[in-house]
Amino acid sequence: MIQLNLQEQLQKAVLSLMPDADVSKILVRPCPEPNFGDYQANALIGLAKRNKLDPREFAKQVIGKIDVDKFCEIVEVAGPGFLNFRLKTQFISDTLLSACKGDHLFLSASEKPRTIVIDYSSPNVAKPMHVGHIRSTILGYTLAKAFRLLGHKVITDNHIGDWGTQFGKLLFGWKEHLDKNALSIDALAEMERLYKLVNAACDNDSKVLERVRYELVKLQDGDKENLLIWKEMIDLSRHQFDEIYSRLRVDFDETLGESFYNDRLKGVVDELSESGIAEESEGAKIVHFDSKALRKHPAMVQKSDGAANYTTTDLATMEYRENSWQPSEVIYVTDGRQQLHFQQLFELYTRWQPEHEMKLNHVWFGAILGEDGKPFKTRSGEIIRLNHLLNEAEQRAFEVVTEKSPGIEEDERREIARVVGIGALKYADLSGNRQSDYVFSWDKMLSLVGNTAPYLLYAYTRICSIFRKLDSDTILIPKSFDLSDLEELALAKHLLRFGLVLEQVIEECRPNFLCNYLFELAGYYASFYESCPVLQAEGDVRTQRLALCDLTGKVLKTGLETLGLETTERM
């Protein structure tokens, strides 16, 4: 929208003066100090210095070439060479009017849409999803929503762990120790019990370990019985995964697990060996790197027993994605502990397939901590199962809703609690810097004060309550927006920044930018609502203020939905 128009004009002006300049970094962003303007560009300083020019003089030359009279007052040079842009009130009014007519919601689809593959969630078969899965699942889904909102094609893939050495233990346990009744009640809990039981037995009994290896070899060789049991394990696991995804309102375009690539693994290792990329070391196949960061960290692509590993599977996966979907970017959403793995993977894939043009992006995140600063677990030290966490979120939210609004019918209170509780969990996860660890606090995430989901959801319900009081559902479109009150103008300007924030979200894969924007939007709206009577106003003023309320509600709702949050009209 507006910032992109300003940015485009600014880049054209720079190119008219420096035809060979790289203008991709000439960006327009909101001015950090509103007194100086609405938008600012500071990249001219570095560009001028690299070309041994005086930054202020260069900025003045750019102003002479830029054509933004339609949008802005006089463009000003500030400090060592910043450009400050202040929007014309008439332009702001025109943009609001076109949004009222449904032409846009302060954002526009990319003129050059890209294809993006996003790999997220990726639980392991036969293991319950736990609290550690929530960050990848929610972050990946939000990024997919943001890219799609801006017109890009997105393919989401849940790369589940459905192959590997653990299935030898699971198959042995299934055949010798299965409790069918427990399996029917909670399949993942029973399979987890079997795995732990056999895993412990392997440490103490060589005959058990031998049998486990035998069952694994049978599976890998295509034994009919073991394949049937393995497929049942996958079906039972996916059923319970899907229950959690349904509660989180998360979905995927593809669920291609590790087993999907099994037939390609030998070919990958052979190609790496024949090209000299992989070499033998103590029976295993190893890849050494030349880069300083990885020189001391070789990657294994085949174990000494001939088995493939995660790196091999990930190489085959990446090859399939490139050949099948031709993406311009592949994003992997995992915790920060896997940084070394993905550094190795990306460098190795580029050596193996030097012609590829994909951007390979590891979007990593920190850990969830308890209030004691240690990894978030139960009091007994067990990892918290994700379905138990969702249950507790809904129950705690129900208690808060009941305390605040006891007059609402119980069924409605429970539905509100579902929306608020799950939304609070998601928002607490998304609202901070993803690369930082965050402390899990029920009191903070369910608070109606501060940068929380309940606060934003309540702000949305306040807007809805205004329109419930009207005699008609029809929202009139004003002839123009006067914007004479400072609070009206501040709210309007913030609405215009919605598209810019979304661009920043996908550029850096940081949904907290959107969270901060929505929190600020709710604050601007609160100031507007307190200072500018809406329903008490009359005539054109009332129509304009109702339209501002409506636009704010639409942006809030769209922003929250992009974060994966549902909204409710009452709380």
User: In whole angstroms, what is the distance from residue 555 CA to residue 102 CA?
Assistant: 12
**pLDDT mean over 45-63:** 89
List the single range of 11-20, 331-340, 514-523 with lowest mean pLDDT. Answer: 11-20
68 confidence band (pLDDT: 50, 70, 90): confident
Task: Please tell me the predicted confidence (pLDDT) of residue 379.
Answer: 65
In Å, the largest CA–CA distance within the chain is: 87
Percent of the chain residues past pLDDT 70, beyond the cut? 99
pTM: 0.92
- Going by their DSSP bridges, the two strands 76-78 and 368-369 should be labelled as unpaired
The band of 34, judged by pLDDT with boundaries at 50, 70 and 90, is confident
pLDDT at 360: 97
Answer whether residue 1 shows pLDDT above 80.
no
Contacts 24+ apart (CB under 8 A), 417-420: 418/394, 419/457, 419/565, 419/566, 419/567, 419/568, 420/446, 420/453, 420/454, 420/457, 420/568, 420/571
pLDDT band at 457 (very low <50, low <70, confident <90, very high): very high
Q: Which residue has the higher pLDDT, 110 or 381?
A: 110
pLDDT digits (tens, 9 = 90+) for 369-380: 888 888 887 666
Which two structure tokens, joined as six digits, stand for 560? Answer: 């929250």
Tokens of residue 80, six digits: 């060592």
Q: How far is CA 397 from the centre of its chain?
A: 24
pLDDT, one tens digit per residue, over 307-357 is: 888 999 999 999 999 999 999 999 999 999 999 999 999 999 999 999 999
Mean pLDDT lowest among 46-55, 130-139, 316-325:
46-55
Indicate if the pLDDT at residue 452 is higher than 90: yes
For the segment 189-199, the average pLDDT, to the nearest whole number, is: 93
The mean pLDDT of the chain is 92
Residue 381 pLDDT: 67
Higher pLDDT pick, 81 / 273: 273
Residue 372 is predicted with a pLDDT of: 81
Tell me the C-alpha distance between 156 and 120, whole Å. Answer: 8
Domains annotated on the chain, with CATH: 2-87 (3.30.1360.70), 166-248 (no CATH)
Length of the chain: 571
pLDDT at 380: 65
pLDDT at 332: 98
Which two structure tokens, joined as six digits, stand for 161?
């762990």
CA atoms lying within 13 Å on the CB side of residue 324: 13
Q: How far apart are the first and last CA of the chain?
A: 33
- 168 CB contacts (<8 Å, ≥6 apart)? 212, 213, 214, 215, 216, 217, 219
Residues 6+ apart with CB under 8 A from 358: 318, 322, 327, 328, 329, 330
Residue 221's pLDDT band (cuts 50, 70, 90): confident
In SS3 terms, 406-449 reads as CCCCHHHHHHHHHHHHHHHHHHHHHCCCCCCCEECCHHHHCCCC
Q: Which of 271-280, 297-306, 391-400 has the lowest mean pLDDT?
A: 297-306
Indicate if the pLDDT at residue 2 is higher than 80.
Answer: no
3: pLDDT strictly greater than 60: no
Whether residue 464 is predicted with pLDDT greater than 80 in this model: the reply is: yes
| pLDDT for 411 | 93
Determine the pLDDT at residue 571. Answer: 79
CB-count burial class (<10 Å; 0-12, 13-18, 19+) for 467: middle
Handedness of CA 95, 96, 101, 103 (dihedral sign): positive
Across 425-440, average pLDDT? 93
Percent of the chain with pLDDT over 90: 72
Per-residue pLDDT at 41 exceeds 60? yes
Tell me the average pLDDT across 541-553.
Answer: 96
Amino acid at 104: H
Indicate the helix (H) or strand (E) that contains 348.
Answer: helix 339-352
- What value does the mean pLDDT take over residues 247-271? 95
Which sign does the torsion angle of CA 215, 221, 225, 231 carry? Answer: positive
Which of these, 432, 430, 427, lies nearest to 393 by C-alpha position? 427
Residue 320 confidence (pLDDT): 98
User: Could you give the 3-state DSSP secondary structure of residue 506?
Assistant: helix
Q: Which pair of structure tokens corresponds to residue 375?
A: 């990894």
Closest among 571, 493, 503 to 525, alpha carbons compared? 493
Q: How many CA atoms are closer than 13 Å to the CA of 235, on its beta-carbon side?
A: 8
Task: Say if CB 143 and CB 105 are below 8 A apart.
Answer: no
Residue 557 confidence (pLDDT): 98
- Under a CB-based contact definition with an 8 Å cutoff, are residues 365 and 335 in contact? yes
